[in-house]
Amino acid sequence: MTQITVVMAQINPLVGDIEGNARLILAQSRRAVELHRADVVVFPELALTGYPPEDLLLRASIGLRVERALEGLRRELPDVWVLLGYPSRGAGGLENVAGLFKGGKLVAAYGKMELPNYEVFDEKRYFVAGVQPRVVEIGGFRFALSVCEDIWHERPTAMAVEAGAEILLNINASPYHLGKHRERLRIVERRALAGDVAILYVNQVGGQDELVFDGGSMAIGRDGGLAVLAPHFAEGLFPVRIGRDAAGRVLLEQGLQEPEPGDRALVYQALVTGVRDYVNKNRFKGVVLGLSGGIDSALTLALAVDALGAERVEAVMMPFRYTAGMSIEDAAAQAAGLGVRYRSISIEPMYEAFVSALSEEFAGCAVDVTEQNIQARCRGVLLMAISNKKGCLVLTTGNKSEMAVGYSTLYGDMAGGFDVLKDVPKTLVFALARYRNSITAVIPQRVIDRPPSAELAPDQKDEDSLPPYDILDQILERYVERDFSANAIIADGFDADTVRRVVRLVDLNEYKRRQAPIGVRVTRKAFGRDRRYPVTSGWEAGD
């Protein structure tokens, strides 16, 4: 009976490191043959350049580097079929290509038909669309080549099936957001059933700036049934055995089916992956962060330790006269429990020096938020000095709710290189803290239970300035992620004055967000790549 083994190579490439990615592809191809006796090895979309290469694709030299790397791979790859993604310039322009290699030759090349130009994607800036399906016979099976977005549209799959395809090899660089794994599974099942075709969906893993890729490669049978599901956020080689049933139809053998993690676990893994790869791929020695005794910095510290290990993490408490005793106690306790380097540096002397230097300028002015911002900026100066001296990255600790409404200080708590929680709403921060503590208790329970406070004024609480977070986050989800108007949000039953105030704060604080560090994207619409609004604008969001 005819049988073939296709290995899905779930790898973590580095954008721009074409030579390094080629070495990774070569090594994993050899391992796939040694470990699984692979007949076909399938790598992700643009595996050779990494994804997304962005404007590196506009550099004249990238084509030469890609061709040199492909020439080396043609010489050195094992004598099996290898499918991988790379950019290739044809007569019509640059294409996002899936290239199939065997015996030192390029046997088939397919140009991606559907170019995404929404959310984080802008492929039409760089690529022209392919126009023809490509079907290749391997070991008695007819395989069609397919690239990422193609699977989300009916036309490419229908054209491949019409050209005789029995199995789709769909290579992907599909970034994570909450619920994305379920969306993928549904769409691949739908395409398989509609076309009576088996589909192997191969995705990459790893962090690339604000994007994280979660893997979750899968093999779906003609009947829409799941045959193989690779782990999320883990590199590896995952074999799919393909044969035929008694009627001669393609049949996928049941293989590994990794248990599906819950949403909280996946978000947490996404954040850990984003931190780990940003730090490691950019060759930072480690990270430093301000540990305030509040929940945002507590969760950030836990994530940093899980990503990098305690030995590469430093936490700094920077108390002031308004810092509560319990904040100091909880910060010290968490740092000790996690085993990170910890120090306490009072900002009182710095603050007094600033206020003294500004005394003439401020004469006759009442104390206001300016003095609160000076406190935050003192802390930013300390953390950046430690970063400069030690070659470590400053992790900021602001969450999406604060980022949305501007509840943060430019050049203060926003000063740093990477904001882990930038796309995590405050209510989700609490949920993730509880999730992490359900594994091992690394965040003091009092930090989770007490009302949030910036501690920049006596007896200050976040809700003195903002609506309760459970209300705020529902309004923000509608306005930011779902593009509701203020009137539509009010129609959902929210207080009109509260909605208008929140919407106005979001609009006013675009200037702050433009100056914020990047951070891990975990929702469908994050500030930055997804949501691009003008700073200078007369827009009113009423309708």
In degrees and rounded to multiples of 5, residue 281 shows phi and psi of -70, -25
Integer angstrom CA distances of residue 46 from 66, 176, 467: 11, 17, 44
287 shares its domain with 239? no
What is the distance between the alpha carbons of residues 165 and 154, in angstroms, rounded to a whole number? Answer: 14
Q: Tell me if 15 sits within 8 A of 53, measured CB to CB.
A: yes
For tokens 């300028």, name the residue: 361
| pLDDT tens per residue, range 56-110 | 999 999 999 999 999 999 999 999 999 999 999 988 999 999 999 999 999 999 9
The CA angle 132-82-43, to the nearest 5 degrees, is 85
247 shares its domain with 325? no
Question: Would 358 be classed as within a structural domain?
Answer: yes
Question: Would 161 be classed as within a structural domain?
Answer: yes
304 shares its domain with 156? no
Question: Would 486 be classed as within a structural domain?
Answer: no
pLDDT value, residue 461: 78
In degrees and rounded to multiples of 5, residue 421 shows phi and psi of -100, 15
What is the distance between the alpha carbons of residues 143 and 149, in angstroms, rounded to a whole number? Answer: 18
The CA angle 151-184-37, to the nearest 5 degrees, is 80
Which residue type, as a one-letter code, is found at position 114?
E
Question: Would 542 be classed as within a structural domain?
Answer: no
253 shares its domain with 286? no
Residues designated catalytic = 45, 112, 148
244 shares its domain with 305? no
The range of the structural domain enclosing residue 57 comes to 4-259
What is the distance between the alpha carbons of residues 84 and 171, in angstroms, rounded to a whole number? Answer: 8
pLDDT value, residue 542: 64
234 shares its domain with 340? no
Question: Would 322 be classed as within a structural domain?
Answer: yes
Last residue of a domain, one of 441, 463, 485: 463
Question: Would 408 be classed as within a structural domain?
Answer: yes
What is the distance between the alpha carbons of residues 191 and 195, in angstroms, rounded to a whole number? Answer: 6
pTM of the model: 0.95
222 shares its domain with 269? no
pLDDT value, residue 543: 64
Last residue of a domain, one of 259, 282, 301: 259
275 shares its domain with 241? no
Strand order, beta sheet including 236-244 = 105-111, 93-102, 81-90, 40-42, 4-10, 236-244, 250-252
Question: Would 400 be classed as within a structural domain?
Answer: yes
87 shares its domain with 12? yes
What is the distance between the alpha carbons of residues 418 and 393, in angstroms, rounded to a whole number? Answer: 8
210 shares its domain with 311? no
User: E strand or H helix at 243, and its extent?
Assistant: strand 236-244
Q: Tell me if 166 sits within 8 A of 140, measured CB to CB.
A: no
Question: Would 512 be classed as within a structural domain?
Answer: no
What are the per-10-residue average pLDDT scores of the chain (543 residues)? Answer: 91 98 98 98 99 96 96 97 96 96 96 94 96 96 98 97 97 97 96 97 98 98 96 98 95 89 96 99 98 97 99 97 92 97 97 95 93 95 97 97 96 96 98 98 95 77 85 97 95 96 96 96 94 88 66
308 shares its domain with 214? no
Last residue of a domain, one of 463, 492, 523: 463
Q: Which of 241, 232, 230 is nearest to 175 (CA)?
A: 232
CATH code for the domain of 94: 3.60.110.10
In degrees and rounded to multiples of 5, residue 38 shows phi and psi of -65, 140
| pLDDT tens per residue, range 437-467 | 999 999 999 999 998 877 677 877 777 778 9
CATH code for the domain of 305: 3.40.50.620
Tokens of 452: 């949030």
39 shares its domain with 184? yes
Number of domains present in the structure of the chain: 2
